[in-house]
Amino acid sequence: MQTELSNTLGAEHAVFGFTPFPAVAAAITRAGGFGVLGAVRYTAPDELARDLDWMQEHTDGLPYGLDVVMPAKKVAGVSEAEVEAMIPEGHRRFVAELLEKHRVPALAAGEASGWRITGWMEEVARTQLDVAFDYPIKLLANALGSPPADVIRRAHDHGVLVAALAGSPRHARHHKDAGIDIVVAQGYEAGGHTGEIATMVLTPEVVAAVDPLPVLAAGGIGTGEQIAAGLALGAQGVWLGSLWLTTEEAQLHSRRLTAKLLAAGPEDTVRSRALTGKPARQLRTEWTDAWDDPSGPGTLPMPLQGLLVAEANSRIQRHEIEPLLGTPVGQIVGRMNSERSVQAVFDELTRGFERAIDRINRIAGRAGTRGGTAE
Amino acid sequence: MQTELSNTLGAEHAVFGFTPFPAVAAAITRAGGFGVLGAVRYTAPDELARDLDWMQEHTDGLPYGLDVVMPAKKVAGVSEAEVEAMIPEGHRRFVAELLEKHRVPALAAGEASGWRITGWMEEVARTQLDVAFDYPIKLLANALGSPPADVIRRAHDHGVLVAALAGSPRHARHHKDAGIDIVVAQGYEAGGHTGEIATMVLTPEVVAAVDPLPVLAAGGIGTGEQIAAGLALGAQGVWLGSLWLTTEEAQLHSRRLTAKLLAAGPEDTVRSRALTGKPARQLRTEWTDAWDDPSGPGTLPMPLQGLLVAEANSRIQRHEIEPLLGTPVGQIVGRMNSERSVQAVFDELTRGFERAIDRINRIAGRAGTRGGTAE
């Protein structure tokens, strides 16, 4: 699975694996893919440095990247307390009542409340970058729009390519105009923030919109057959996130959550604003149902919703409250049915890809000899 | 593009084209595909016979099929008048006010109101079948669940394969249990009735669910690259509907509607209950917006909604009321940008498919020689 892009980056396969876990990112890179470490949970620069040190030691000189969440629009000079004050009392009550209904215990004294708004703010992302550029990362991806122009320049000065996620051809053109190097076309079926357009349609639309920039297909890709499909659509690689959540190297906060992921079918996700205020695909739970119920107060806009539910989500996760326990994940969750090592998952991806190529060549009436040169 | 299924049916390419227009269906078959004529608009058996006569004369002995809408559940002995009486007065008023707001003229005296509920009722579908089995159709497709057991038997007695659309692995398994021969996996991005699962995920899920039955990938497929993707996902063929709406042979009721389709982008469709009461993807219009507006009365369940809006839709179409003018169509509408003959469209599909195979073979490091035998 070699493309111009994977060759440029020095990866054996054009398979990009996004994950919040250093052990998973490093294993993806070691398996011949391109591991991308999600940085949003690192609010302390030294923690990021510690994990990037670890990545360096465990990637055998092979390439990897970092994913930050940096909004293009500045919310300059607004403190977390000021944002907190914008949350209506009725919404706070709704959260309290939901937690009470499900008898969710409080956190222990001194226990951190996990995800905070700060990880989504530009200043925090900038301190992450100050750390990251000290490491030989090959790619900087941004999950929320184009990063600011000076960040793109800084990445390019360090020889780092910049990628950004797009849910529509319009977003993708905006990224191109901003000077982005790679666009990740994130389809409707993907886990996390998604638009309305499915990967099958979005990928070629984005390829056409940003030509000649390379495009990665994301959303609905968790098998070698789906990798072949994404590449057939014109992508120079694929971007997989959900698939790694049930690998042995993943450090999910809860065994019960892993069990829910292993048991879930393709209809058990929902695109909901419950987590961040923007539509993000995740496991459907009684928590998402409550927020999506028309008789409830509805969700708040980003970043208010994320701030409102941060502590509640930490409590739900910490105490493993089964009916409320969820995570961002795509529709491929239906195929995540066993816990295996990243290497075993990667091997199955490459085998499935080869099978798909054999099959499509038979359908096309081609010999498809391996290792040969183009006709 | 040959698969076991296309060979069984005697088609050169495993490309199935669904269309309500005999001229389009016949042209798809002549181009080497498998044309499937939608029968829902034929309420009079002699009109269907006339058009099937025409199909016979214009398909050069090549194979084609028929698509009916036959609910598995009987609504026996219920008249259209009785169903009409179940529609709330407030909903009738909402329709009348919408038509008035947009100054939609009435139909002329004696002008038919177009689509009627009757085309969706089993008795009508059965009279269509009485006609259809007099013709050498090779495939009977059902758009709404599995057809009744006696219809499947009757088709098999005539040597006709039976296909049914499915939006989830659960539906697909039900079809298999009912004795269906082929399952059409209709993804979220498709035009018309769809479920929540996108084609990229749905196709392999359905392939696994009904193994060893052949599966057709539907939804989001309008280029040769997308055909290659659908086949890479394990399908034995692809099912295309939207793409033909802007061909020269299509007899859309309105030039303005054709113009809207040619101008629309991938974000200009919506999955709405406005047309039939079940979620169906269609052009987003002020009509769908009004029905999907939470401040309105909302839609009625099938078949009430279809009956409620039938005359209104005829008036909108007859008088080409621009802001309300719509049609079922998938997200690939963004790529339908010129009016061409079916043959020209088909030629581009096969060229795009060959390009995609060349590209994927390069990525896989294969020679991909044309016309050779498997290694």
Chain A: residue nearest B360 by CA?
Answer: A232
Is residue A82 predicted with pLDDT exceeding 90? no
Is residue B210 predicted with pLDDT exceeding 90? yes
- A374 — pLDDT class (breaks 50, 70, 90): very low
Compare B369 and B132 and report the one with higher pLDDT.
B132
Same domain, B267 and B217: no
- The distance of A203 to chain B (nearest Cα, Å) reads 10
CB contact under 8 A, B200 and A370: no
CB contact under 8 A, A232 and B221: no
Is residue A184 predicted with pLDDT exceeding 80? yes
Same domain, B241 and B356: yes
Same domain, B61 and B157: yes
- Domain extent for A153: 1-75+121-248+353-366
Same domain, A185 and A262: no
Is residue B177 predicted with pLDDT exceeding 90? yes
Residue B43 lies in a domain: yes
Chain A: residue nearest B188 by CA?
Answer: A198
Task: Name the residue facing B197 among A267, A369, A370 (closest C-beta).
Answer: A267
pLDDT of residue A110: 75
Q: What percent of chain B has pLDDT over 90?
A: 79
Q: What percent of chain A has pLDDT over 90?
A: 79
- The distance of B202 to chain A (nearest Cα, Å) reads 8
Is residue B79 predicted with pLDDT exceeding 50? yes
Determine the 3-state secondary structure of B12 from DSSP.
Answer: coil
Residue B267 lies in a domain: yes
Asked if residue B185 lies in contact with residue B168, where contact means CB atoms within 8 angstroms, the answer is: no
Can you state the percent helix, strand and coil of chain B, rounding each to 5? Answer: 45, 15, 40
Residue B373 lies in a domain: no
Beta bridge mates, A261? none
Is residue B371 predicted with pLDDT exceeding 80? no
Same domain, A284 and A242: no
pLDDT of residue A111: 77
In chain B, residues with a C-beta closer than 8 Å to the C-beta of A362 are: 374
Same domain, B355 and B333: no
pLDDT of residue A253: 79
Compare B367 and B210 and report the one with higher pLDDT.
B210
Number of independent structural domains in chain A: 2
pLDDT of residue B73: 58
pLDDT of residue A336: 97
Q: What is the pLDDT of residues A21-37, one digit of tens each?
A: 999 999 999 999 999 99
CB contact under 8 A, A367 and B367: yes
CB contact under 8 A, B168 and A372: no
- B72 — pLDDT class (breaks 50, 70, 90): low
Is residue B273 predicted with pLDDT exceeding 70? yes
Nearest to A284 by CA among A220, A347, A331, A349: A331
Same domain, A44 and A64: yes
Residue B14 lies in a domain: yes
pLDDT of residue A117: 52
Same domain, A178 and A282: no
Question: H-type helices in A320-366, by residue range?
Answer: 342-364
In chain A, residues with a C-beta closer than 8 Å to the C-beta of B234 are: 225, 356, 359
Same domain, B35 and B131: yes
Same domain, B192 and B297: no
In chain A, residues with a C-beta closer than 8 Å to the C-beta of B241 are: none
- B372 — pLDDT class (breaks 50, 70, 90): very low
pLDDT of residue A127: 86
Q: In what order do the strands lie in the sheet with A269-272?
A: A192-193, A280-283, A269-272
Task: Name the residue facing A200 among B229, B234, B362 (closest C-beta).
Answer: B229
Average pLDDT estimate for A112-133: 72
In chain B, residues with a C-beta closer than 8 Å to the C-beta of A282 are: none
- The distance of B146 to chain A (nearest Cα, Å) reads 21
Instruction: Please tell me the distance from the alpha carbon of residue A252 to that of residue A258, in angstroms, as a whole number.
Output: 7
Is residue B359 predicted with pLDDT exceeding 90? yes
CB contact under 8 A, A334 and B189: no
CB contact under 8 A, B369 and A373: no
Is residue B374 predicted with pLDDT exceeding 50? no
Four-residue CA torsion sign, B87, B89, B93, B96: positive
Same domain, A204 and A160: yes
Q: CA distances (Å), A96 to each of A101, A235, A272, B187, in order?
A: 9, 45, 20, 38
Asked if residue B241 lies in contact with residue B143, where contact means CB atoms within 8 angstroms, the answer is: no
Instruction: Please name the amino acid found at residue A219.
Output: G
Query: Per the structure block, which two tokens stand in for A193?
Result: 């923030």
- The distance of B3 to chain A (nearest Cα, Å) reads 6
Residue A373 lies in a domain: no
Compare A369 and B96 and report the one with higher pLDDT.
B96
Asked if residue A303 lies in contact with residue A277, where contact means CB atoms within 8 angstroms, the answer is: yes
pLDDT of residue A74: 56
CB contact under 8 A, B363 and A1: yes
Q: Identify the helix (H) or strand (E) that includes residue B170.
A: helix B169-178
Q: Which of A200, A333, A335 is the mutation pick for testing B, counting most B CBs within 10 A?
A: A200
Query: Per the structure block, which two tokens stand in for A251?
Result: 């450090």
CB contact under 8 A, A335 and B234: no
Is residue B102 predicted with pLDDT exceeding 80? yes
Residue A82 lies in a domain: no
HSE-up (13 A, CA, CB side) for residue A343: 3
CB contact under 8 A, B200 and A200: yes
Determine the 3-state secondary structure of B192 from DSSP.
Answer: strand
In chain A, residues with a C-beta closer than 8 Å to the C-beta of B200 are: 187, 189, 198-200, 219-221, 226, 229-230
Same domain, A138 and A104: no
Q: What is the pLDDT of residues A328-356, one digit of tens each?
A: 999 999 999 999 999 999 999 999 999 99
CB contact under 8 A, A367 and B357: no
Task: Tally C-beta pairs within 8 A across A and B.
Answer: 218
Residue A348 lies in a domain: no
CATH of the domain at A146: 3.20.20.70
- A373 — pLDDT class (breaks 50, 70, 90): very low
Residue A372 lies in a domain: no
